[in-house]
Amino acid sequence: MTQNTDLNQALFERAKGVIPGGVNSPVRAFNAVGGTPRFVKRAQGAYFWDTNDQQFVDYIGSWGPMILGHGHPEVVAAVQAAVLEGFSFGAPTEREVVLAEKIRELVPSMEMVRMVSSGTEAGMSALRLARGYTGRSKIIKFNGCYHGHADSLLVKAGSGLATFGSSSSAGVPADVVKDTIVLEYNDVAQLEEAFAKMGSEIACVIMEPIAGNMNFVRASVEFTRRIRELTKEHGALMIYDEVMTGFRVALGCAQSLYAKEIEGFEPDITVMGKVIGGGMPMAAFGGRREIMEKLSPLGPVYQAGTLSGNPIATACGLKTLELISRPGFHAELHLKTGHLMQGLKAEADEAGIPFSIDWQGGLFGFYLLPELPKTYHEVMKTDGAMFNKFFHGMLERGHYFAPALYEAGFVSMAHSEQDIDRTVEAAREVFKTL
């Protein structure tokens, strides 16, 4: 065990010499929980192995894409076949058309689709499109929602109601975020106030339907309904960021779940990533034809990408979407995830630890709180030290959860009931130590 950690430690030291913080994306560095990140050597099914061959049950799945588990043989075969045909052409391919048609079939609100290479790029482009289409500048986002690291979205809430936020990163000039309004998630009154004040200046409202970047917080039906009504009423667009929820919470994505509660519900633009690439760099945004036709080369809103619609990424994404389209896939995944959540909850109750849970499809959130939070502020009431102890206890026992309390978790179809039972048993031991 000590030996294992030492080998990861050695690699981490080397990494820190050449890569800032030793990682290529910050949450991987374990800054929130402390300790040494595990360097992954390989992965298969529900597991990955670190650089010393310690096995972990993987509950992050590359932060969402690996809904089938790692190395699904049919996906691997599709990628291998694509590799032999060429890596990238800078000219269109049939597979991009097939993938776009497949996305439209599964998500009818996406009448037209533009492919890009990351969720950040998709969110940034969707925002530019909404501004170009409406001819307006102001955008509304919600505290605790993440839409990638585009400048105008790196904004934290200001003080007071419907104030303009300040940038949450160095290097973002105040001018760039002056049109970004940050409101509280699930706060209908604040939303109504913002529209009453400046509805005619708002280009769009961007939201996560289930906020997976503050663990797992559902937008209430009423909140979602009011966003749809107010944007329509004021000529603004509703952008639904389904990068995390897309094809993970349901085959028709989160919008199909809200459409059951809100008659005729459809966002104007949807942003996708993660699962649609099946683990390859692939993301997309799409929406109503009249909006999407504002994009270059048809319209005045510029958007482009050398590797957009990459032939290997499209092969990987397309095969992934085909495999998850089989009837009952998401219902089965929802049951698996439910077993994990209910198992953890039962053990926490037994140990007298405050614990609340929620999940949808292969996405879950648990909190060391007696009740599910509804806003970022409530999420942050979690006892961080207790979470860190839980995280490291599980990690030592070979169960890899997100290394931060404000991140969602992921179950794949490759997770067996035995995997989940083993995780719950490990949690029983860990809860006793908290």
Binding region for ligand PLP (CB under 6 A): 118-120, 123, 146-148, 208, 212-213, 241, 243-244, 273, 283
As measured in angstroms, the least distance from the Cβ of 211 to ligand PLP is 8
Distance CA 113, CA 105 (A): 11
Q: Would residue 146 show up in a list of annotated catalytic residues for this protein? A: yes
As measured in angstroms, the least distance from the Cβ of 334 to ligand PLP is 19
Tally of helices (H runs) and strands (E runs) in the chain: 14, 18
Residue in 90, 151, 50 with CA at minimum distance from that of residue 304: 90
As measured in angstroms, the least distance from the Cβ of 258 to ligand PLP is 16
Q: Parallel, antiparallel, or unpaired for β 283-287 and 269-272?
A: antiparallel
The active-site residue out of 141, 187, 268, 274 is 274
- Residue 69 or 123 having the CB closest to ligand PLP: 123
Residue in 243, 293, 291, 296 with CA at minimum distance from that of residue 269: 291
- Residue 118 or 125 having the CB closest to ligand PLP: 118
As measured in angstroms, the least distance from the Cβ of 121 to ligand PLP is 7
As measured in angstroms, the least distance from the Cβ of 332 to ligand PLP is 23
The active-site residue out of 47, 146, 258, 367 is 146
Q: Parallel, antiparallel, or unpaired for β 166-167 and 180-183?
A: unpaired
What share of residues in the chain are helix, strand, coil (percent, to 5)? 45, 20, 40
Q: Which residue's Cβ lies closest to ligand PLP?
A: 119
Q: Would residue 241 show up in a list of annotated catalytic residues for this protein? A: yes
- Residue 241 or 347 having the CB closest to ligand PLP: 241
Q: Read off the DSSP letter of residue 143.
A: T
What angle is formed at CA 203 by the lines to CA 374 and CA 195, rounded to 5 degrees?
Answer: 55
Distance CA 390, CA 427 (A): 8
- Residue 125 or 423 having the CB closest to ligand PLP: 125
Could you tell me which residues come within 8 angstroms of residue 397 by beta carbon, excluding any fewer than 6 positions away? 426, 429, 430
Instruction: Find the length of the chain.
Output: 434
Residue in 368, 365, 367, 369 with CA at minimum distance from that of residue 337: 365
- Residue 312 or 426 having the CB closest to ligand PLP: 312
The residues annotated with a catalytic role in the active site are 146, 241, 274
